[in-house]
């Protein structure tokens, strides 16, 4: 599993194409083992898909998902738990929030956040 390449596609058809832009999570990711049956996703920029606690938009429930370098090897913000539901794999943070795609209309503009299921 270490170093396996993976392309993420969001379940929602919100028009988000895989991208190689550093500012936007997407495109090809390398899969690495995390802590306690979790995985870590590393971009071609050498940064990890990270669940931040910074609000995406003021007054909205979702939190930002960014590409970042972990502060330590035990940084839980870069660990994702793969959860299978049929043919889909959903990624869950250690705090119980799921990675989710947002729509392409403002103010979301094809963003990726993490939050509780609706």
> Domains in the chain, please, with CATH?
4-11+20-115 (2.80.10.50)
Q: What is the mean pLDDT of residues 69-85?
A: 89
Task: Round to whole Å and give the CA distance between 68 and 92.
Answer: 17
pLDDT score for 81: 94
The single residue listed with the structure tokens 């083992």 is 33
Q: What is the mean pLDDT of the chain?
A: 78
pLDDT tens readout for residues 107-116: 667 778 888 7
pLDDT tens readout for residues 7-64: 777 665 443 333 334 444 457 889 998 888 899 999 988 999 999 988 887 656 788 8
């Amino acid at each position: 599993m270490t170093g396996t390449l993976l392309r993420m596609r969001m379940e929602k058809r919100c028009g988000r194409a895989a991208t190689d832009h550093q500012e936007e999570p997407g495109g090809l990711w390398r899969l690495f083992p995390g802590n306690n049956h979790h995985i870590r996703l590393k971009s071609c920029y050498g940064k990890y898909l990270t669940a931040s606690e910074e609000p995406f938009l003021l007054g909205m429930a979702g939190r930002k998902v960014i590409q970042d370098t972990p502060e330590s090897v035990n940084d839980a913000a870069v660990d994702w738990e793969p959860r299978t539901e049929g043919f889909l794999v959903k990624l869950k943070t250690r705090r119980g929030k799921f990675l989710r795609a947002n729509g392409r209309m403002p103010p979301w503009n094809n963003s990726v956040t993490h939050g509780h299921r609706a």
